[in-house]
Amino acid sequence: MKYLSASEKAIGAEVSIIVPCYNEKNNVLPLFRALETALVGWRWEAIYVDDNSPDGTIEEIRKLARQDIRARGILRVNKRGLSSAVIDGVLSSSADYIAVIDGDMQHDETRLPDMLEAVIHRNFDFAVGSRHVSGGSNQGLANYWRRFLSDRGIALSQKILPVPLKDPMSGFFVLKRKLFLNLMPTLTGTGFKILLDLILSCPSTIRVIEIPFQFRKRFSGQSKLGLKIMMQFIVMLLQKKLKRYPR
Protein backbone atom coordinates (compact mmCIF):
# COMPACT_ATOMS: atom_id res chain seq x y z
CA MET A 1 0.00 0.00 0.00
CA LYS A 2 1.41 3.38 -1.03
CA TYR A 3 1.32 6.29 1.44
CA LEU A 4 2.14 9.78 0.23
CA SER A 5 4.71 11.99 1.91
CA ALA A 6 3.80 15.27 3.60
CA SER A 7 5.14 17.23 0.63
CA GLU A 8 3.06 15.17 -1.81
CA LYS A 9 -0.04 15.73 0.29
CA ALA A 10 0.56 19.48 0.34
CA ILE A 11 0.78 19.74 -3.45
CA GLY A 12 -2.61 18.15 -4.10
CA ALA A 13 -4.02 16.57 -7.25
CA GLU A 14 -3.59 18.04 -10.71
CA VAL A 15 -6.34 15.82 -12.13
CA SER A 16 -9.54 14.51 -10.58
CA ILE A 17 -10.89 11.25 -11.98
CA ILE A 18 -14.68 11.36 -11.57
CA VAL A 19 -16.18 7.87 -11.28
CA PRO A 20 -20.00 7.76 -11.24
CA CYS A 21 -21.11 4.40 -9.92
CA TYR A 22 -24.14 2.33 -9.00
CA ASN A 23 -23.80 -1.27 -7.83
CA GLU A 24 -20.07 -1.36 -8.61
CA LYS A 25 -18.75 -2.75 -5.30
CA ASN A 26 -16.55 -5.35 -6.97
CA ASN A 27 -15.09 -2.80 -9.39
CA VAL A 28 -14.00 -0.12 -6.90
CA LEU A 29 -10.59 -1.51 -5.96
CA PRO A 30 -9.68 -3.02 -9.38
CA LEU A 31 -10.38 0.32 -11.06
CA PHE A 32 -8.32 2.22 -8.50
CA ARG A 33 -5.38 -0.14 -8.94
CA ALA A 34 -5.67 0.18 -12.73
CA LEU A 35 -5.63 3.99 -12.44
CA GLU A 36 -2.61 3.73 -10.15
CA THR A 37 -0.72 1.83 -12.84
CA ALA A 38 -1.86 4.02 -15.73
CA LEU A 39 -1.14 7.37 -14.04
CA VAL A 40 2.38 6.85 -12.73
CA GLY A 41 4.02 10.28 -12.57
CA TRP A 42 0.73 12.16 -12.33
CA ARG A 43 -0.80 13.73 -9.21
CA TRP A 44 -4.34 12.42 -9.24
CA GLU A 45 -7.34 11.55 -7.13
CA ALA A 46 -10.34 9.32 -7.75
CA ILE A 47 -13.71 10.75 -6.72
CA TYR A 48 -16.30 7.97 -6.65
CA VAL A 49 -19.89 9.28 -6.74
CA ASP A 50 -22.28 6.58 -5.57
CA ASP A 51 -26.06 6.82 -5.90
CA ASN A 52 -26.74 4.88 -2.69
CA SER A 53 -26.04 1.48 -4.27
CA PRO A 54 -27.76 -1.41 -2.43
CA ASP A 55 -24.72 -3.66 -2.97
CA GLY A 56 -22.52 -1.73 -0.52
CA THR A 57 -20.45 0.19 -3.07
CA ILE A 58 -19.99 3.17 -0.75
CA GLU A 59 -18.59 0.99 2.03
CA GLU A 60 -16.00 -0.38 -0.36
CA ILE A 61 -15.10 3.19 -1.36
CA ARG A 62 -14.79 4.25 2.28
CA LYS A 63 -12.59 1.26 3.03
CA LEU A 64 -10.29 2.27 0.18
CA ALA A 65 -10.30 5.92 1.23
CA ARG A 66 -9.12 4.97 4.73
CA GLN A 67 -6.09 3.33 3.13
CA ASP A 68 -5.23 5.84 0.40
CA ILE A 69 -5.90 9.59 0.46
CA ARG A 70 -6.21 9.66 -3.33
CA ALA A 71 -9.61 7.95 -3.04
CA ARG A 72 -12.73 9.88 -2.01
CA GLY A 73 -16.39 8.99 -1.95
CA ILE A 74 -19.59 11.00 -2.34
CA LEU A 75 -22.82 9.30 -1.28
CA ARG A 76 -25.98 10.64 -2.92
CA VAL A 77 -29.32 9.72 -1.36
CA ASN A 78 -32.62 10.16 -3.23
CA LYS A 79 -30.72 11.32 -6.28
CA ARG A 80 -29.94 9.26 -9.36
CA GLY A 81 -28.25 9.68 -12.71
CA LEU A 82 -24.78 9.61 -14.23
CA SER A 83 -24.82 13.19 -15.53
CA SER A 84 -25.76 14.76 -12.21
CA ALA A 85 -23.29 12.45 -10.44
CA VAL A 86 -20.47 13.77 -12.64
CA ILE A 87 -21.54 17.34 -11.91
CA ASP A 88 -21.48 16.70 -8.15
CA GLY A 89 -18.06 15.09 -8.47
CA VAL A 90 -16.64 18.03 -10.40
CA LEU A 91 -18.04 20.48 -7.84
CA SER A 92 -16.12 18.65 -5.12
CA SER A 93 -12.84 18.84 -7.04
CA SER A 94 -10.13 21.49 -6.81
CA ALA A 95 -7.88 19.99 -9.51
CA ASP A 96 -7.30 21.93 -12.73
CA TYR A 97 -8.21 18.98 -14.95
CA ILE A 98 -11.16 16.60 -14.93
CA ALA A 99 -11.35 13.09 -16.32
CA VAL A 100 -14.60 11.12 -16.38
CA ILE A 101 -14.51 7.33 -16.51
CA ASP A 102 -17.17 4.71 -15.85
CA GLY A 103 -16.88 2.57 -12.76
CA ASP A 104 -17.44 -0.70 -14.62
CA MET A 105 -13.88 -1.14 -16.01
CA GLN A 106 -15.07 -0.97 -19.64
CA HIS A 107 -13.11 2.20 -20.40
CA ASP A 108 -9.39 1.81 -21.04
CA GLU A 109 -7.66 3.82 -18.30
CA THR A 110 -4.28 3.40 -20.04
CA ARG A 111 -5.43 6.04 -22.57
CA LEU A 112 -5.75 8.71 -19.88
CA PRO A 113 -2.15 10.01 -20.16
CA ASP A 114 -2.62 10.67 -23.90
CA MET A 115 -5.97 12.32 -23.25
CA LEU A 116 -4.52 14.54 -20.52
CA GLU A 117 -1.56 15.40 -22.72
CA ALA A 118 -3.90 16.56 -25.50
CA VAL A 119 -5.78 18.94 -23.19
CA ILE A 120 -2.83 20.20 -21.14
CA HIS A 121 -0.13 20.56 -23.78
CA ARG A 122 -1.91 20.54 -27.15
CA ASN A 123 -4.64 23.02 -26.25
CA PHE A 124 -7.66 20.83 -27.03
CA ASP A 125 -10.83 21.68 -25.12
CA PHE A 126 -11.95 18.03 -24.95
CA ALA A 127 -10.10 14.75 -25.32
CA VAL A 128 -12.69 12.05 -25.91
CA GLY A 129 -12.06 8.33 -25.59
CA SER A 130 -13.57 7.05 -28.83
CA ARG A 131 -14.71 3.62 -29.96
CA HIS A 132 -15.40 4.83 -33.50
CA VAL A 133 -12.11 6.17 -34.81
CA SER A 134 -9.24 4.13 -36.23
CA GLY A 135 -7.84 1.92 -33.49
CA GLY A 136 -11.02 2.00 -31.41
CA SER A 137 -13.59 -0.75 -30.88
CA ASN A 138 -16.98 -1.22 -29.22
CA GLN A 139 -16.71 -5.00 -28.94
CA GLY A 140 -17.40 -4.80 -25.20
CA LEU A 141 -21.03 -3.83 -25.78
CA ALA A 142 -22.99 -6.68 -24.28
CA ASN A 143 -25.45 -7.48 -27.06
CA TYR A 144 -27.20 -6.37 -30.22
CA TRP A 145 -29.71 -4.27 -28.25
CA ARG A 146 -26.97 -2.16 -26.63
CA ARG A 147 -25.20 -1.73 -29.98
CA PHE A 148 -28.49 -0.69 -31.59
CA LEU A 149 -29.21 1.91 -28.90
CA SER A 150 -25.66 3.24 -29.05
CA ASP A 151 -25.62 3.49 -32.85
CA ARG A 152 -29.02 5.20 -32.99
CA GLY A 153 -27.96 7.65 -30.28
CA ILE A 154 -24.83 8.55 -32.22
CA ALA A 155 -26.78 9.08 -35.44
CA LEU A 156 -29.33 11.34 -33.72
CA SER A 157 -26.84 13.45 -31.82
CA GLN A 158 -24.52 14.00 -34.80
CA LYS A 159 -27.32 15.90 -36.53
CA ILE A 160 -27.08 18.79 -34.06
CA LEU A 161 -23.50 18.69 -32.80
CA PRO A 162 -21.56 21.96 -33.18
CA VAL A 163 -18.37 20.04 -34.07
CA PRO A 164 -17.66 16.71 -35.81
CA LEU A 165 -17.54 13.88 -33.28
CA LYS A 166 -17.66 10.19 -34.14
CA ASP A 167 -18.41 8.98 -30.59
CA PRO A 168 -20.64 11.56 -28.88
CA MET A 169 -22.10 8.80 -26.72
CA SER A 170 -18.75 8.22 -25.01
CA GLY A 171 -18.64 8.55 -21.25
CA PHE A 172 -14.83 8.70 -21.21
CA PHE A 173 -13.28 12.14 -21.60
CA VAL A 174 -10.97 14.85 -20.23
CA LEU A 175 -11.36 18.62 -20.02
CA LYS A 176 -10.34 21.58 -17.89
CA ARG A 177 -12.39 22.05 -14.72
CA LYS A 178 -12.71 25.76 -15.57
CA LEU A 179 -14.45 24.92 -18.87
CA PHE A 180 -16.79 22.46 -17.14
CA LEU A 181 -17.79 25.09 -14.58
CA ASN A 182 -18.32 27.71 -17.29
CA LEU A 183 -20.72 25.35 -19.09
CA MET A 184 -22.60 24.23 -15.98
CA PRO A 185 -25.41 26.84 -16.15
CA THR A 186 -26.44 25.47 -19.56
CA LEU A 187 -26.35 21.76 -18.71
CA THR A 188 -29.56 19.77 -18.35
CA GLY A 189 -27.93 17.43 -15.81
CA THR A 190 -30.29 14.62 -16.80
CA GLY A 191 -29.67 11.16 -18.19
CA PHE A 192 -26.41 9.37 -18.75
CA LYS A 193 -24.70 11.28 -21.58
CA ILE A 194 -22.91 14.15 -19.86
CA LEU A 195 -20.32 14.52 -22.66
CA LEU A 196 -23.03 15.19 -25.22
CA ASP A 197 -24.68 17.68 -22.84
CA LEU A 198 -21.35 19.50 -22.51
CA ILE A 199 -20.52 19.52 -26.23
CA LEU A 200 -23.99 20.77 -27.15
CA SER A 201 -23.48 23.65 -24.71
CA CYS A 202 -20.27 24.74 -26.47
CA PRO A 203 -19.69 27.07 -29.43
CA SER A 204 -18.54 25.65 -32.76
CA THR A 205 -15.02 27.01 -32.12
CA ILE A 206 -14.12 24.37 -29.52
CA ARG A 207 -11.30 21.96 -30.29
CA VAL A 208 -12.05 18.27 -29.77
CA ILE A 209 -9.74 15.31 -30.29
CA GLU A 210 -10.84 11.68 -30.22
CA ILE A 211 -8.41 9.18 -28.72
CA PRO A 212 -9.10 5.57 -29.77
CA PHE A 213 -9.72 2.95 -27.12
CA GLN A 214 -10.97 -0.60 -26.94
CA PHE A 215 -14.32 -0.77 -25.13
CA ARG A 216 -13.96 -3.77 -22.83
CA LYS A 217 -16.43 -6.23 -21.40
CA ARG A 218 -17.67 -5.46 -17.91
CA PHE A 219 -15.41 -6.67 -15.11
CA SER A 220 -18.38 -7.16 -12.78
CA GLY A 221 -22.03 -6.19 -12.51
CA GLN A 222 -24.72 -5.45 -15.09
CA SER A 223 -25.24 -2.77 -17.72
CA LYS A 224 -27.62 0.10 -16.91
CA LEU A 225 -28.37 0.99 -20.52
CA GLY A 226 -32.02 0.44 -21.34
CA LEU A 227 -35.11 1.97 -22.92
CA LYS A 228 -35.67 4.42 -20.03
CA ILE A 229 -32.17 5.80 -20.38
CA MET A 230 -32.61 6.10 -24.15
CA MET A 231 -35.82 8.09 -23.61
CA GLN A 232 -34.00 10.41 -21.20
CA PHE A 233 -31.34 10.82 -23.86
CA ILE A 234 -33.91 11.78 -26.53
CA VAL A 235 -35.53 14.30 -24.18
CA MET A 236 -32.14 15.86 -23.48
CA LEU A 237 -31.41 16.11 -27.22
CA LEU A 238 -34.72 17.87 -27.80
CA GLN A 239 -34.05 20.31 -24.97
CA LYS A 240 -30.61 21.16 -26.32
CA LYS A 241 -31.85 21.46 -29.91
CA LEU A 242 -34.60 23.89 -28.91
CA LYS A 243 -32.09 26.05 -27.03
CA ARG A 244 -29.56 25.99 -29.87
CA TYR A 245 -32.04 26.49 -32.69
CA PRO A 246 -35.05 28.39 -31.24
CA ARG A 247 -37.92 29.02 -33.61
Return the number of other C-beta atoms located less than 10 Å from residue 89's C-beta.
23
Sketch out the chain's domains with CATH numbers: 7-242 (3.90.550.10)
Answer whether 153's CB lies under 8 Å from 169's CB: yes
Looking at residue 138, what is its pLDDT? 84
Residue 6 pLDDT > 60: no
What one-character DSSP code corresponds to residue 138?
-
Answer whether 13's CB lies under 8 Å from 38's CB: no
Mean pLDDT of the chain: 86
Whole-prediction pTM value?
Answer: 0.85
Answer whether 47's CB lies under 8 Å from 15's CB: no
Q: Which tens digits make up the pLDDT trace of 42-75?
A: 999 999 999 999 999 999 999 999 999 999 999 9
Task: Return the higher-pLDDT residue of 95 and 216.
Answer: 95
